[in-house]
Chain A
Amino acid sequence: MSDERFFISESDLRALAADLLATGTEVIAPVAVDACASPAAMASSACMRPGLEPEDLEYRALTDAAELDLARGLPILSLKGYFLPEHEALCRWKQKGIAIEIEAVPTEFAPRVVLAAKPCDSAALAVVDEVMNWDYKDELWNGRRAATTIINLACPVIDESCFCTAVGAAPDAIKGADALLTPVKDGYVLEATTEKGHALVEAHKARLSPAADALTAGADVDRAAARARAAANLEIDAGSVRDWISTHFEDPLLAQLAIRCNGCGACSSVCPTCHCFDIVDEEEGVGRGTRRRCWDSCQASSFTLHASGHNPRDDQHSRYRQRINHKFSIYPLKFGEVLCTGCGRCTRVCHAGQDLVEILQAIDIAARRPDEAEAAAPAADAPSPVAP
């Protein structure tokens, strides 16, 4: 049962989404949106050219199953915001005289389904689960995780910024998700791996048929090809990278790699694993308000600024080093997971040209090179270069 694979036609997949919507279940899926809808985008040259109607892909709550867009690459933002919203209430307060009342926020959420999630985005959720449960349980994160069934879609589009296979993820992985769809002729092969995934399969069995062996074999070939395409972009030894960073904090290479970064923090916003946040109070009239957490970025100088004016990371290279260190060394050492799933969004969004594929390659090369100190000292059992 657990490794049973089904066939679902494209029209039945849309019908499955429609069935879920009909029962009142929220369905989050990639949807094409007008790229020029925001005032900022409207000013861009692409939006001012007549006849061009650029579209972006975003994860949105479907209002109609027809909106489901299954053919394209990565949505602009990851799924992060559906689990750690850009800002969310932690509690509310109300003043009564000099007394204060606190209103708790709910930590249980209505069931929902993510359809056609990118494997790098679901994997990121599993990675961030670790820190959200490090001794103290983040019920807001966990509540949304528990309420959500995620069905991945094996990645149909891999570009030059993708490197999921270099960091332990894959274009056809089910990590962090409950089921996987793999595109085949006229439809998809569907396999469920978790209890939530099996429950969804069971509930929609009428739209599924057993997948023929030839079909699953074809799907497997496509999946392997996609993995090979991603691997061609970057191959590193993540363990060596982790160890090199942890022992080369002051290495000039880490400063060099930050040289183009101007600290805008766009990489953190689009990153599916960046989870750092701020907590602020927002007053809503007199004597009441909401305590909120909101996304923050280690690339901002205010991130670590002490009230005294002292700042432990007071230049951009130390802040960029923190980003690399946290993702590829600190987090793996603490939780055994790289805090990156190789989606490549940070590279695509960076207007300064910081390229994580290039940066990881540089660190990997440095990690493979013997240390100068080690190179200078010949090994004890090495033959003496001078003949006796």
Chain B
Amino acid sequence: MNIYQPQLATVTEVTEETVDTRTLRLEFQDVAVRESFTFKAGQFGEYSVFGAGESTFCIASPPTRPGFIECSFKSVGKVTSALREVNVGDTVGFRGPYGNAFPVDDWKGKDILFVAGGIGLAPVRCVIWNVLDRRDEFGAVTIVYGARSVGDLVYKRELEEWASRSDVRIVTTVDPGGQTEDWTGDVGYVTPVVEKTAPAAANAVAVLCGPPIVVKLTLPVLDKLGFADEAIFTTLENRMKCGLGKCGRCNIGPVYVCKDGPVFTAAQLKALPAEF
């Protein structure tokens, strides 16, 4: 089997997150693969619908929950539109896991701040569950999540579950104008809400993912709160085809997002050319 040949996986669960975003749960059809497949939080894969092609997303479920993987995606292009049409029982392709990972084991004993905007919660969710499944090993957990509107919030049931836990502090916000009458969360952009939430930066790390503008504006705020560049982790997405360092399109200067990333610290980002 060559490196570009996908594994077959069955869709076992479909969750409609928003009008254009859904989560698929996949189980590998090959029993040996299903039982031996492992990955680390932050790694990604190439998901495919046969006839439409492949698309790159993170694995949105945590490695602490074996037996399946999940992906969340917004229906935008050819492949995601095809993935939007699949039903429980259908077969899709998967290649992976690829790329590096969040160094979760290095964070033992530390506080963790998660900041996500929109669909950027997908890779962060993987780390959140990974941390919550090993809750005793970490300090305070704070989550700041924002979307354009209440309708655009993804993982709504999980947001409620995290809000109901006493060992998690979560602030959910929607952009001004995106609130509904019964909305009880914050109203405002993610960046000022992070500043207002002001989690302690001493002995803490921050995990940040969202649209480029959210990442760009939030980095200075985290700096102001006292997070060192080495303690801020984010995950980048660039257009990819192979995921294996061969097809030549995801590089930012000398760094290949598929092999050297997708997880980078803010310190690493600052050393890169502004071409992402």
Contacts and interface: CB of A to CB of B under 8 A. Distances in A.
Interface centre among B51, B76, B237 (most CB of A within 10 A): B51
Contact of A326 (B1, B212, B251): B251
Instruction: Indicate the size class of the contact surface on chain A.
Output: 35 or more
Contacts of B237: 306
B112 to A, nearest CB: 28
Interface secondary structure of B, over-half rule? loop
A105 interface: yes
Contacts of B259: 134-135
B248 A138 contact: no
Interface string B45-56: 000101111100
Contacts of A313: 275
A91 interface: yes
Nearest to B255: A330
B183 interface: no
A57 to B, nearest CB: 28
B212 A310 contact: yes
Contact of A95 (B50, B53, B252): B50
A321 to B, nearest CB: 9
A134 B5 contact: no
B8 interface: yes
B2 A139 contact: yes
Interface string B18-59: 000000000000000000000000000000101111100000
Nearest to A94: B50
Contacts, number: 124
Interface in B92-120: none
A209 interface: no
A105 B238 CA distance: 29
A330 B6 contact: no
B86 to A, nearest CB: 10
B244 interface: yes
Interface stretch (A11-19, A270-278, A354-362): A270-278
Interface in B241-259: 241-242, 244-249, 251-254, 259
Interface in B195-251: 211-212, 237-239, 241-242, 244-249, 251
B18 to A, nearest CB: 16
Contacts of A91: 2, 4-6
Given A304-B238, A305-B239, 19 more contacts: A90-B4, A100-B91, A104-B1, A135-B259, A136-B246, A246-B253, A246-B254, A275-B246, A279-B54, A279-B247, A281-B51, A291-B48, A293-B4, A303-B239, A307-B76, A307-B80, A325-B253, A330-B251, A333-B254
5 contacts: A107-B2, A140-B2, A277-B241, A305-B239, A325-B253
Interface of A: 90-91, 93, 95, 98-100, 102, 104-105, 107, 131-132, 134-140, 246, 249-250, 275-281, 283, 289, 291, 293, 296, 298, 303-308, 310, 312-313, 318, 322, 325-326, 329-330, 333-334
